[in-house]
Amino acid sequence: MPAPKPVRVSRAIVPFAVFAVAVLAACGKKETPPPAKPPVDVSVVTVEPRDTPAVFEYVAQTQSSRQVNIQARVSGFLDKRVYTEGSIVKAGQVLFLMDMKPFQAQVDAAKAQVSKAQAAVDVAKSNLDRVKPLTAKEALSQKDLDDATGNYESTSASLEAAKAQLVTAQLNLSYCTIASPVDGISGSAAQADGTYLNQQNAQLTTVAVLTPMWVNFSLSENELQSFRDQVERGLLRRALNNKYVVEIVLVDGTIYPHTGSITFTDPSFNAQTGTFLIRASVDNPQGVLRPNQYVRARINGAMRPNAILIPQRAVLQGAKGHFAWVVDKDAKAENRPVTVGDWSGDDWVITEGLRAGDRVVVDGGLKLGPGTALAPKPYVATATAPPVTPPRSAPPKGMPAKPAAPGAPAAAK
């Protein structure tokens, strides 16, 4: 009987068999679910509405409340300047002296005319006193009395004219001594000593009053409308009797020690700048503020009733706008769209999207997604900053820049 032939197994069948065995072995075991992710540690703040001062800040520029042009009132040669340019001067302090000799000569001539006219009056008076009794006795005619009376009245009028000329000459002489009419800071001299002054070059210098100092800032039409809208919606309350306190922030960030008040609001809209001019007046007894200086005007007095404030870093920016992460009742993350208003110190004022009692994530929100389990802990602020609203426009060179925020000043009616 012939021997059986050996069975040949194809090499392609071997891997398949190994795979089948592995599959059968796997079917006999149950799949192990992946371990659950631990809750994410976050710090949260609980929303507590409260009345919050509304502070508005604007880039402003100082202006002297009274800047006087010092001018020559008569024509003549400028003798000399007797003040230090740029110094503080007092009212009545002499600034310039003009050549007095021609004007002194006019005074002397006017005095002589007065003396001459007085002598003529004395003679006419004596003549009239003699004519009156003689006319009463009919020793002289009525014409003689009329002539004597007319002569006396004419000489008296000439005397008054001569006196007026003397007063004019004395005034012109006094104008040669040019003094400051106010206390303030002096400007540079516009004319050199020895210059002949007339109507064309009468300007000599300026004196700017330092106290009170005006502080001018502008309010845009959009800001004014936003302010009115917030008042109508109850989000903002005006200061009592519209009495706002104006603080001045100097270029180094320090607060000027004297506060002021709004004294003027331009009723006309400036079509070129698109703004309304607002002016505040502040005492400046030490002369710290100088004209045309850039400062910040901080307007205090308005109030935000029951305002909702959360730290600025709790508000995030997404494709659909601002949002915040809120801890829901199951301690999971909820994406909540919010509407932001102004800044208040380190906080955002939230006008829509949050309510009292909401727990808002402050730290740890960047790694969250909807439904993420959370391990919340109370947020502890590291520092408290004074309420500040960023200025509405870019500050000039030399001023520290801060981002702008929506809002309107309290000067709106």
Instruction: Please write the tens of the pLDDT for every residue from 298-348.
Output: 999 999 999 999 999 999 998 889 999 999 988 999 999 999 988 887 888
Is 407 a residue whose pLDDT tops 50?
no
Residue 107 belongs to domain with CATH number? 1.10.287.470
The residue with greater pLDDT, 80 or 36, is 80
Q: What percent of the chain has pLDDT over 90?
A: 60
Establish if 17 belongs to a structural domain. no
DSSP letters of 170-220?
Answer: HHHHHTTEEE-SSSEEE---SS-TTPEE-GGG-EEEEEE--SSEEEEEEEE
Q: In this predicted structure, what is the pLDDT of residue 406?
A: 34
Question: Stretch 62-91: mean pLDDT, rounded?
Answer: 95
Establish if 29 belongs to a structural domain. no
Whether 192 and 128 map to the same domain: the answer is: no
**If pLDDT is split at 50, 70 and 90, which confidence band does 30 have?**
low
Q: Is 399 exposed, middle or buried (0-12, 13-18, 19+ CB in 10 A)?
A: middle
- Mean residue pLDDT across the chain: 85
Contact 117, 162 (CB under 8 A): yes
Residue 193 belongs to domain with CATH number? 2.40.50.100
Residue 341 belongs to domain with CATH number? 2.40.30.170
pLDDT per position as a tens digit, 335-383: 999 999 888 878 889 989 999 999 999 998 888 889 888 888 998 876 5
Whether 278 and 357 map to the same domain: the answer is: yes
CA distances from 217 to 267, 288, 341, 361 (A): 14, 19, 22, 38
- Please give the structure tokens belonging to residue 375: 């391990």
Q: In this predicted structure, what is the pLDDT of residue 346?
A: 84
Q: In this predicted structure, what is the pLDDT of residue 125?
A: 92
Whether 94 and 166 map to the same domain: the answer is: no
**Identity of the residue numbered 327:** V
Whether 224 and 299 map to the same domain: the answer is: yes
Q: What are phi and psi of 338, to 5 degrees?
A: -135, 155
Is 397 a residue whose pLDDT tops 50?
no
Is 34 a residue whose pLDDT tops 70?
no
Whether 310 and 365 map to the same domain: the answer is: yes
Per the listing, tokens 């005619």 go with 141
The residue with greater pLDDT, 142 or 391, is 142
Q: In this predicted structure, what is the pLDDT of residue 261?
A: 95
Question: For residue 146, what are the domain limits?
Answer: 100-175
Question: Stretch 74-100: mean pLDDT, rounded?
Answer: 95
Q: In this predicted structure, what is the pLDDT of residue 11?
A: 52
Question: Stretch 383-388: mean pLDDT, rounded?
Answer: 49
Contact 91, 181 (CB under 8 A): yes
CA distance 220 to 404: 13
Lowest mean pLDDT among 68-77, 94-103, 323-332: 323-332
Whether 238 and 306 map to the same domain: the answer is: yes
Q: In this predicted structure, what is the pLDDT of residue 396?
A: 39
Q: In this predicted structure, what is the pLDDT of residue 107?
A: 96
Count the neighbouring beta carbons within 10 Å of the beta carbon of residue 138: 8
Question: Stretch 19-35: mean pLDDT, rounded?
Answer: 54
Structural domains in the chain (count): 3
Whether 344 and 364 map to the same domain: the answer is: yes
Question: Stretch 94-102: mean pLDDT, rounded?
Answer: 96
Whether 363 and 232 map to the same domain: the answer is: yes
pLDDT per position as a tens digit, 162-209: 999 999 999 999 999 999 999 999 999 999 999 999 999 999 999 999
CA-closest candidate to residue 391, choices 382, 400, 379, 380: 400
Whether 360 and 224 map to the same domain: the answer is: yes
pLDDT per position as a tens digit, 253-290: 999 999 999 999 998 988 888 899 999 999 999 999 99
For the chain, how many residues are written? 413
Question: Stretch 221-232: mean pLDDT, rounded?
Answer: 90
Q: In this predicted structure, what is the pLDDT of residue 28?
A: 52
DSSP letters of 76-93?
Answer: EEEEEE-S-TT-EE-TT-
Question: Stretch 67-72: mean pLDDT, rounded?
Answer: 96
- Please give the structure tokens belonging to residue 265: 């609001």
Establish if 139 belongs to a structural domain. yes
Q: In this predicted structure, what is the pLDDT of residue 180?
A: 96
Q: Give, to the nearest 10 degrees, the angle between helix 142-174 and helix 101-136.
A: 160
Q: In this predicted structure, what is the pLDDT of residue 101?
A: 96
Whether 91 and 105 map to the same domain: the answer is: no
Per the listing, tokens 């008040």 go with 261
Is 409 a residue whose pLDDT tops 80?
no
Whether 193 and 286 map to the same domain: the answer is: no
Whether 191 and 220 map to the same domain: the answer is: no
**If pLDDT is split at 50, 70 and 90, which confidence band does 3 have?**
low
The top-scoring range by mean pLDDT among 5-14, 67-76, 335-344 is 67-76
Establish if 16 belongs to a structural domain. no
Establish if 236 belongs to a structural domain. yes
Q: In this predicted structure, what is the pLDDT of residue 400?
A: 38
Is 52 a residue whose pLDDT tops 80?
yes
Contact 104, 175 (CB under 8 A): no
Q: In this predicted structure, what is the pLDDT of residue 264?
A: 94
